[in-house]
Structure 1
């Protein structure tokens, strides 16, 4: 069953369950909802596999990316992905707070598969979806004038880690582009442009150590200069 079929099936079922009825019927339905389950009878009556132990989950509270949570859930339940009823029940168990309240607003018997549950879940929390960054985003990362080379490397790696499937060649080009032209590392990477990304970072780390040594030496010289000036002032005083 494709996504479009799931969407049509769920929407039609929800629409059919909500049509008609007066105020008393609506109130009775609301009370019944609180005491019932959105799952069909088939899912509710299904028994878990023998020796199944519920994994430890970080619960979903309704304030984070639903797609990331679904991937996280599926990875922990990968051994039981064919157990549709089990997937539905365990997923409902790790909802908390507002997400748990939302789950119980689903009409009774409206969910007959994990695909349907995943569809209504992502649809409900679509506004919390994280906008995925494009690899070209790395070309916007530049070394700041007051930033050490080591800090730039860390910041660039952190940005790259947030981009799924980032090409190494693009990352290498973006890393070099973010360096000031007068930087010695920029010159090195220009002379040896065929390095793979891991080699680029290795070269950068060597230059970062040299850069840190220069910064430390500069600070030591400044401190010595200030101390010398203070001594001269003391000697000049009567």
Structure 2
């Protein structure tokens, strides 16, 4: 492509030959004479296909996921799993350690997780689910009860 930098028509044709089946079909649906330069073609191609590309993160991206004080354990796990999926070659030992370290230190789950050796990420999630159920039951019991409406008899 570098050799033909000055010939836009040739660059477009050469680039088009490198496209895969679906993208090749897209290329052939472009209206005739709709592209006047390779820069136009690059812009149209980028607009069409850049949104389909998933940007993969590195393992240290999981260090950014921290449980918020008002966030439920279930929501934290859901958010952590969503971030983990986007990490290329995420090692479960690193993910498990990161998950544990980013919990709030004053939660009983934090102490239980760091005291146990060799917990897999699945084990951590399972233990977190038990604590989430316990937290929900505790919050339900603490919820103020609605006062009964007294019927007025006149």
Same-fold call, TM cutoff 0.5: yes
Map of 2:26 onto structure 1? 94
Tell me the secondary structure at the aligned position of residue 94 of structure 1.
helix
Alignment of 1:93-132 (within 5 A): 93-95=25-27, 100=30, 105=35, 125=46, 128=50, 131-132=55-56
Residue correspondences, number: 142
Map of 1:38 onto structure 2? 13
Kept in 2: contact 1:38–1:104 (CA 8 A): no
Q: 1:182 aligns with which of 89, 98, 106?
A: 106
Give the root-mean-square deviation of aligned CA atoms. Answer: 3.9
What's the CA shift string for 1:24-73, capped at 9, x where partnerless? Answer: xxxxx8xxx9xxx8269xx7xxxxxxxxxxxxxxxxxxxxxxxxxxxxxx
Shift of 1:216: 2.0
Quick one: distance in 2 between partners of 1:216 and 1:95?
A: 58
RCO (CA 8 Å, sep 6+): is it higher in 1 or 2?
1
Quick one: distance in 2 between partners of 1:205 and 1:93?
A: 47
TM-score (norm 2): 0.70
Alignment of 1:1-238 (within 5 A): 10-15=1-6, 17-18=7-8, 38=13, 88=20, 90-95=22-27, 100=30, 105=35, 125=46, 128=50, 131-219=55-143, 222=144, 224=145, 226-227=146-147
Unaligned segments of structure 2, at least 5 residues: none
Quick one: distance in 2 between partners of 1:104 and 1:166?
A: 43
Unaligned segments of structure 1, at least 5 residues: 1-9, 19-28, 44-83, 108-119
Tell me the secondary structure at the aligned position of residue 227 of structure 1.
coil
Tell me the secondary structure at the aligned position of residue 140 of structure 2.
helix
Q: Which has the larger radius of gyration?
A: 1
